[in-house]
Amino acid sequence: MVSTVLKKLFPNTEIQRCIIHQIRNSSKYLSYKDLKAFNADLKLVYKAPTEDVALAELDNLEEKWGDKYLIAIKSWRNNWDELSTFFKYPPEIRKIIYTTNAMESYNRQLRKVTKSKSIFPNDESLLKILYLATIDITKKWTQGIKGWAQILAQLSIFFEGRLDEVLF
């Protein structure tokens, strides 16, 4: 599993699975007629103010829907350690880490650049193309993250000493 390898290589890593992907994964086991109601109840889980409240809401979800959609709920329980990491953080940080959409978009754009050229003479040429593509991609990033100064301050507290190189 990717998580195990990441933890071995980077022992201080905290893994947060994408909530959006987990919701989509759960939804594929649901009947269309129950989708809206189930997802409304599920939203109480991942939008909960604390992990304890989220677990209570997950219990409520299972109580209400468990007979019909146990496999969807089991998926949340089985992955809970990596779905609940973001509860450690304040809402400002949660908002930016609960989904991987930004990273997926970036990776998709890099794939587009590398697919157009199927062979690279050496690793350095690939790295140069990725670097130039990254410069081009980041030029388009004009909208900042709301409250970034506060978020950065909070991150520097949570990850004391780990951000010093980039902050100072």
Range of the domain at 79: 2-88
User: Looking at 57, 88, 119, which one is the last position of a domain?
Assistant: 88
Q: Do 28 and 78 belong to one domain?
A: yes
How many structural domains comprise the chain?
A: 2
Answer whether residue 143 shows pLDDT above 80.
no
- Does residue 150 belong to any structural domain of this protein? yes
84 and 105 belong to one structural domain: no
Q: Which residues of 58-84 are buried (b: 16+ CB within 10 A; e: fewer)?
A: beebbeebeeebeebbebbeeebeebb
Task: Out of 88, 118, 146, pick the residue that ends a domain.
Answer: 88
The mean of the pLDDT values for the chain is 90
Distance CA 131, CA 110 (A): 10
The pTM for the full model equals 0.75
The answer to whether residues 11 and 70 belong to one domain is yes
Average pLDDT over residues 17-38: 95
Read off the pLDDT band of 119 (50, 70, 90).
confident
**How much of the chain exceeds pLDDT 90, in percent?**
48
Q: Which of 111, 161, 164 is nearest to 134 (CA)?
A: 111
pLDDT at 84 over 90: yes
Q: Is the pLDDT of residue 144 over 80?
A: no
133 lies in a domain?
A: yes
Q: Are residues 14 and 82 in the same domain?
A: yes
Q: Is residue 94 part of a domain?
A: no
Residues 15 and 74 in one domain: yes
Residues 11 and 77 in one domain: yes
